[in-house]
Amino acid sequence: MSERIIISKISRFSRILFWILTPFVLILIAFSGYYLYQYFSTEREINLSVSVPANAMVGVPFDLSVDFDNSSKNTLQDVNLSVFLPESAIILGESGEKRVFSKKIDDLEPDAIFKDKFQILIVAGEGSVKNFNISVGYVSTLKARFEKKQNVEVSVRESAVKLDLSAPEKVLNNEEFEIIVNYANISENNFSGARLNFIFPKNFVLKESNPKLSGNILEIGELEKNAQAKISLKGRIIGPEQSFFEIKSQIETAYRGQKYAIAEKAASVYIAPSPLSLKIILNETENYIAWPGDLLKYRIVYQNNSDVVLSDAVITAQLNGEIFDFPTLKTGGSFNSRNNILVWNAANVSNLRQVPAGSSAGTEFEIKTKQFYPIKKLSDKNFVLKVVAEISSPTVPYYVSADKTIGLSGLETKVGGQISVEPAVYFRDPSGIVNKGVLPPRVNQPLNFTIHWLVKNYATDVKDVNIKASLLSGARLTDIVKSSVASQPIYNERTSEINWSIDRISAAKGIIGKPIEAIFQIEVLPNITQVGKEIPLLSQTIAAAVDEFTGVELNVAAEALSTKSLKDSGLDLNYTQVIQ
């Protein structure tokens, strides 16, 4: 009976709830229908049209036209136009780096049409297809924001100005060679403010050009359709043998007061081995690494690779490096200490008077490096010793177009770094750590000492640093361990070894500013066999690290410590020996 009453009440409540919610549901359906009707009817009556040519030449502007037609019965509010540009496409009058152009249209009344036109210039991408994305955003009467989008494509043709650059595949040092540049306007457009830019390597010397350049620029001015021209340049270069250098040319045109490069060509030229070659050898070793206080023995070897005798040869060598100790220089040549240049000629090396075809010989000098790194600021690191040598002869082989025969060579030698670790032991510790016990040490009475490791790094950044030593005389590590970096020394009870690993130490750490420091406390128990003697506390400290500049492993060892090594101020040395 009670179950029927409960079911009856639930049924009555459900009917009441149904009639209450039904109007709300109907209102919601009607509102949604109105919203969808307004959206789809408005969308159908709003049109975005974008037109561009099917293709365009690099360097010739074209129009991108936008038509936005509001044929709906509603006012479109906060209308905004956005043009998304592909790489190498520019809207004239705007920054070449700008990839998105936005324009505010404000409100657009019913049946109103918005039209705009943009001049587009493509400056690169011959043979590619450029995609332009255009969108118009607006707010409808429903106060919601909508967007119309359209994507158009333009196929990119060749540059409007055809540019060709030719140069020899290989040249000799100081040999004169010719560069030919041809350009032609192959479009239907006339260009104004045109000019031809040249980008030469640093050691290139331009001897002549026809027509004459102004700096590295040829001002063309008006470049009418079908116009063409040729430029001839002659020059020389001195650079490392068996290396390449690049010569580049660019055609620029002017639009709305701005210059745009629309064509570019480059030629890569090889510097062939000279008929008079040169090589520098240091300590008879390839990739030699120098160190402070090192003796450097340089040998300069020259060889005549031609089939003619080369006369009156002169060798020069310029030394550059802060660690060269110039007062220690020994040479058979002459030395100018103002520019650190050594010179050998027939006056001091008789073989240079005539260098026979196919022959080779050499000259030598030696110099020491400074005993200490010249570190004055944090950036004083990664020291390099440079020697640049040149040999020249006024004799020129018949097949070379030059005023003299030149051979070049250079050698750069890295100077290795150095780390140091300074161990110290205290009873009265200056850092404030309290050590238990009394001095002099007494048999069977435990006492504490603190050991400090001070780590310095010199001229290079180092990594994978490891510092280790062993506790002696049965000493053990207490719980007091500190360090000035993230890592701390770790104690191996079974081996009595203390090991400290540091990921990386910057150059000049401890030379400028404070060194890295670790402090740890040990406890020792003197025994009867040590009466009248100092107590050995710590073995030699060994430090190893990898020099990031040279890649070599650095190793250093520091002295062992005993109670005789105590650094306590004013300590009587008699207090360092064990008593009964």
For the cut 80, the answer to whether the pLDDT of residue 2 exceeds it is no
Assign residue 338 a region (left: φ > 0; alpha: ψ between -120 and 50; beta: otherwise). Answer: alpha
Paired tokens of 302? 């020259």
Q: How far apart are CA 168 and CA 48, in angstroms?
A: 55
Q: Which of 284, 286, 287 is nearest to 295 (CA)?
A: 284
Q: Which of 320, 314, 365 is nearest to 344 (CA)?
A: 314
To which CATH superfamily is domain 46-159 assigned? Immunoglobulins (2.60.40.10)
Paired tokens of 272? 């062939």
pLDDT band at 115 (very low <50, low <70, confident <90, very high): very high
Q: Which of 200, 196, 175 is nearest to 185 (CA)?
A: 196
DSSP 93-154: TS-TT--EEEEEEEEE-TTEEEEEEEEEEE-S-TT-EEEEEEEEEEE-TTS-EEEEEEEEEE
pLDDT band at 514 (very low <50, low <70, confident <90, very high): very high
Q: Is the pTM of this model over 0.95?
A: no
pLDDT at 36: 43
CATH of domain 276-414: 2.60.40.10
3-state secondary structure of 416: coil
Query: Considering the domain 161-271, what is its CATH architecture?
Result: Sandwich (2.60)
Q: Which residues of 287-317 are buried (b: 16+ CB within 10 A; e: fewer)?
A: ebbbebebebebebbbbbbbebebeebbbbb
Q: Is the Cβ–Cβ distance between 426 and 453 less than 8 Å?
A: no
For the cut 80, the answer to whether the pLDDT of residue 105 exceeds it is yes
Q: Which residue has the tokens 């709003």?
A: 46
DSSP 358-379: T-EEEEEEEEEEPSS----STT
pLDDT at 17: 60
For the cut 90, the answer to whether the pLDDT of residue 400 exceeds it is no
Q: Which residue has the tokens 């009964």?
A: 580
Q: Tell me the mean pLDDT in the region 155-159.
A: 96
Decide which of 3.30.950.10, 2.60.40.740, 2.60.40.1180, 3.30.450.40 is the CATH code for 419-576. 2.60.40.740
Are 276-414 and 419-576 equal in CATH topology? yes
For the cut 80, the answer to whether the pLDDT of residue 151 exceeds it is yes
**E strand or H helix at 406:** strand 405-414
Q: Is the dihedral of CA 478, 479, 480, 484 positive or negative?
A: positive
pLDDT at 20: 65
356-382 pLDDT, tens per residue?
999 999 999 999 999 999 999 999 999
pLDDT at 136: 94
Give percent of the chain with pLDDT exceeding 90.
Answer: 81
Contacts of 473 by beta carbon, 8 Å cutoff, 6+ apart? 524, 530, 535, 536, 537
Out of 52-66, 321-335, 443-457, 561-575, which region has the weakest mean confidence (pLDDT)?
561-575
11-70 pLDDT, tens per residue?
565 566 656 666 565 555 544 444 444 444 455 678 999 999 999 999 999 999 999 999
Going from N- to C-terminal start, the domains of the chain cover: 46-159, 161-271, 276-414, 419-576
Q: Tell me the mean pLDDT in the region 172-189.
A: 94
Q: Tell me the mean pLDDT in the region 87-105.
A: 91
Q: Tell me the mean pLDDT in the region 80-107.
A: 92
For the cut 60, the answer to whether the pLDDT of residue 5 exceeds it is no
